[in-house]
Amino acid sequence: MAHTIQQSYSCFNYEISRNNVKETLPKYYRLSRKIPRAATIQCHQPTTPHRRTANTYKPSSWNYEFLESSGNGNNHVIFEKETVKKMEDEVRCMLEKKGDVEPLTLLELIDDIYRLGVGYRFQEPIKRALERMLLQSSKVMKKIHNSLHACALYFRLLRQHGYHVSTDIFESFKDWNGNFNASLAMDIQGMLSLYEASHLAFQGESTLDEAREFTIFHLKNMLSKMGRKSATCVSHALELPFHHRMQRLEARWNIEMYDKQNEANKMLHKLAIFDFNMVQLAHQNDLQEVSRWWRDVGLANKLSFARDRLMESFFWTVGMVYEPRFSNCRIGLTKVVKLITVLDDIYDVYGSPEELEQLTDAVDKWDLNMVNQLPDYMKLYFFALYNTVNDMAYDTLKEQGQLILPQLIKGWADLCKAFLREAQWRYKNHIPEFDEYLKHAWISSSGALLLTHAYFLTTQNITNEASESLNNYNGLLRFPCTIFRLANDLSSSRADIERGETAKTASCLMHETGLSEEAACKYIKELIDENWKMINKEIVNNSFYEKSFIETATNLARIALCQYQHGDAHSNPNDLSMNRIESVIIEPIRFIS
Give the chain's length: 593
Query: Using N-to-C axis directions, what is the helix angle for 376-400 and 327-345, rounded to 10°?
Result: 160
Rounded Cα–Cα distance for residues 9 and 21 (Å): 20
- Please report, for the domain that includes residue 134, its CATH number: 1.50.10.130
**180: helix, coil or strand?**
strand
Using CA atoms, how far apart are residues 176 and 109, in angstroms rounded to an integer?
Answer: 34
Task: Report the alpha-carbon distance of residue 372 to residue 353 in Å, rounded.
Answer: 17
Looking at the structure, do residues 218 and 251 belong to the same domain, yes or no?
yes
Q: Is the pLDDT of residue 24 over 90?
A: no
In a domain? residue 46: no
How far is 343 from 9, CA to CA, in rounded Å? 29
**Helix, strand, or coil here: 16?**
strand
545 DSSP assignment = S
For range 339-366, the mean pLDDT = 96
Residue 532 counted as domain residue: yes
Q: Which of 98, 128, 188, 125 is nearest to 152 (CA)?
A: 188
Find the angle CA(312)-CA(316)-CA(320) to the nearest 5 degrees. Answer: 165
Residue 60 within a domain: no
Same domain, yes or no, for 526 and 566? yes
Which pLDDT belongs to residue 22? 31
Mean pLDDT in residue range 94-108: 88
pLDDT at residue 26 is higher than 70: no
Q: Can you tell me the distance from the alpha carbon of 561 to that of 559, in angstroms, rounded to the nearest whole number?
A: 5
Return contacts of 219-227, CB within 8 angstroms, 24+ apart: 219/188, 219/191, 219/192, 219/195, 221/185, 222/185, 222/186, 222/188, 222/191, 226/188
Q: What's residue 58's pLDDT?
A: 73
Cα-based torsion angle of the residue sequence 294, 299, 305, 309 in order, rounded to the nearest 10 degrees: -10
Query: Looking at the structure, do residues 263 and 313 belong to the same domain, yes or no?
Result: no
286 in any annotated domain: no
Residue 425 has pLDDT above 70, yes or no: yes
Average pLDDT over residues 534-555: 93
Judgement on whether residues 407 and 539 belong to the same structural domain of the protein: yes
Domain match, 224 and 315 both:
no
Boundary-marking domain end, from 223, 240, 273: 273
In a domain, 50, yes or no: no
On whether both 264 and 322 belong to a single domain, the answer is no
Q: How high is the mean pLDDT of the chain?
A: 87
Q: Taking a C-beta distance cutoff of 8 angstroms, is the pair 290, 336 a contact?
A: no
Same domain? 365 vs 453 = yes
Q: Which domain holds residue 155?
A: 98-273
4, β-bridge pairs: 22
Q: Is residue 53 part of a domain?
A: no
Task: For residue 380, tell me if it sits in a domain.
Answer: yes
For 41-73, what is each residue's pLDDT tens digit?
A: 333 444 456 666 544 577 776 676 767 776 655
Asked whether residue 262 falls in the same domain as residue 367, the answer is: no
Q: What is the pLDDT of residue 17?
A: 33
pLDDT of residue 97: 85
Confidence class for position 461, pLDDT limits 50, 70, 90: confident
Tell me, what's the pLDDT at 69? Answer: 72
- pLDDT for residue 574 is more than 80: yes
Per-residue confidence (pLDDT) for residue 40, from 0 to 100: 33
The CA distance from 194 to 215, in Å, is 7
Cα distances (angstroms) measured from residue 482 to each of 319, 460, 497? 17, 27, 20
Nearest 10 degrees: CA dihedral of 309, 313, 319, 325? -140
Beta strand 13-16 with 22-25: parallel, antiparallel or unpaired?
A: unpaired
Q: Taking the CA atoms of 53, 58, 63 and 66 in sequence, report the sign of the dihedral they define.
A: negative
Q: In what order do the strands lie in the sheet with 13-16?
A: 13-16, 4-8, 22-25
Say if residue 530's pLDDT is above 70.
Answer: yes
Q: Which residues pair with 211 in a beta bridge?
A: none
In a domain, 105, yes or no: yes
**Contact call for residues 448 and 477 (beta carbons, < 8 A):** yes
Strand partners, 5: 16, 23
Question: Which of 70-74, 480-484, 500-504 has the weakest average pLDDT?
Answer: 70-74
Contact 39, 550 (CB under 8 A): no
- 432 and 339 fall within a common domain: yes
**Sign of the CA dihedral 376, 378, 380, 383?**
negative
Among 79-88, 385-394, 399-408, whose mean pLDDT is lowest? 79-88
Q: Tell me how far the alpha carbon of residue 380 is from its chain's centroid.
A: 30
Considering only CA atoms, which of 418, 407, 475 is closest in space to residue 446? 418
Cα separation of 315 and 322, whole Å? 10
CATH code of 445's domain:
1.10.600.10
Claim to verify: residue 177 and residue 215 sit in the same structural domain: yes
- On whether both 389 and 263 belong to a single domain, the answer is no
- At residue 387, does pLDDT exceed 90? yes
Please state the domain count of the chain: 2
* pLDDT number for residue 79: 57
Asked if residue 10 has pLDDT above 50, the reply is: no
Indicate whether 469 pLDDT > 70.
yes
Tell whether 360 and 265 lie within a shared domain: no
pTM across the whole model: 0.89
